[in-house]
Amino acid sequence: PHDQRRRAAIGVLGALRDVEAVPGLLQILEDTARDTDKLHLRIDTARALGEIADPAAIGGLSKMISSKGDNHDQARPVAATALAACLVTKPQDVDDAVLASLLAMIRDRDDATLTAHAHVAFGLIARQLPATRRDVARRQLENTPHTHVDPSDHASALARQVALALARGDASDPATLATVRPLMQAALSHVGTDHDETVRELRITLAAAEAVSEAVDSKDVLWLTRFSEDDIRGRAHALLDRLGKKVPFAAVFDRRSVAALDDAELTRWIAEPHLVGHAVLVGEAARRRLVISRPAITRVVHDVIERAPAGHRSLLDPDMELLAAAVDFLRQGRLEDATIAVFERLLRHSNPNVKWRLLEIAPEDSRLLGGMFHVLSEGWGWQATAAAQWLVRFESHEAFEAARAEAGVTWKHYEVEDDEEEAAEDDEDVVN
């Protein structure tokens, strides 16, 4: 708790750009230099020093970057980015050990996030160096292999090209921008394998975008203004401001704020795409059993389906939470055709993460026969089992055979099992 309070206070000092706080912040770095338990405190302190950008911090940050040992690697790129901000205020050379430490990370560390951050930080420092020294740094980076990276990693590919451009001093040249722009577009629009990976990659991409904003298309940044992470939203707005684009700040809702809305306001906000907290809005509508909000909730589910990735990739956390809340709500009461239509779309989507909640609580409605046979035909683990358990209740229904034939599956009578393990073992008996 004590460190949490200190970190919060340090964040405030950085946001206020309190120059008088610099000696105290540097003392924190000195006092915690050998304390591995203080990693996050050190990172927050370095970040605050970068926000203040006082040249008095150059020595302390350089020492932090040059510290020996892998246990300092997480803090190193943050300190290097902060150092670059201080060099903007007072350009000067840096110790060889500063650049060498970042190059060693790029060469040796099998961590794409760390090495990408190290790339951008290296480029930001190199940009502030005298021309001859910058050229040496550029050659060092060019000769340092980036061996531990997936070629399909958009953020890492972008970070290296941006670092090289900054070290060359030609980041604004047309030829450089022609190379960087497609990488920037791909990285800004990329959704990773899950929410956490997406956030990590976007933070790298935003650092690169801030360094070479001329390569950014504002349209690729707009969706970030609705992200659940405060820092991503804030950086997206700052970047858009630099690009001359003014975008309203998205309203942010939590359980307390939605409880204060009347029914009409709640329904109106559910239908608004530019906000943070759709799931809590829908959850409040469910708590109130607010029938007038059903059309708006149906529309936002269609929106999630439209942007959901194909295959087995995870959705972003807010979309997963929204789908769960919306399915729970729409499952209540009378199932009108619009609800069945959106349930059908969920069941027929190729991504299992889109349909998981519906399969857990699917209503017994024959209009879903086609969608359930589609899930069965995919043969995907527990979801195929759940579909079969649902379908067995409709074996005698007049539409059963036509739906089965359309899906192209062979149906064998499925005994509903109470035990999940036994049910999973019967998967092969259900689907040919």
pLDDT given at position 149: 76
Q: Which residues contact 284 (CB under 8 A, 6 or more apart)?
A: 255, 258, 259, 261, 266
What is the number of other CB atoms lying within 10 angstroms of the CB of residue 260? Answer: 9
What is the number of other CB atoms lying within 10 angstroms of the CB of residue 317? Answer: 16
Report the C-alpha gap between 156 and 187 in whole angstroms: 9
Q: Are 148 and 239 in contact (CB under 8 A)?
A: no
Q: Are 84 and 125 in contact (CB under 8 A)?
A: yes
pLDDT given at position 326: 98
What is the number of other CB atoms lying within 10 angstroms of the CB of residue 37? Answer: 8
Q: What is the pTM assigned to this prediction?
A: 0.89
Closest among 358, 305, 309, 118 to 195, alpha carbons compared: 309
Report the C-alpha gap between 297 and 288 in whole angstroms: 14
Structure tokens at 254: 């939590």
Tens-digit pLDDT profile for residues 138-152 = 999 999 998 777 777
List the Cα angle 82/83/85 in 5-degree steps.
65
pLDDT given at position 416: 54
Q: Tokens 């046979």: give the residue.
A: 373
Helices (H) and strands (E) counted in the chain, each on its own, are 24, 2
Q: Which amino acid is at 98?
A: V
Report the C-alpha gap between 432 and 31 in whole angstroms: 66
Q: Which residues of the chain have pLDDT under 50?
A: 418-432
pLDDT given at position 37: 92
pLDDT given at position 415: 60
Structure tokens at 146: 């980036």
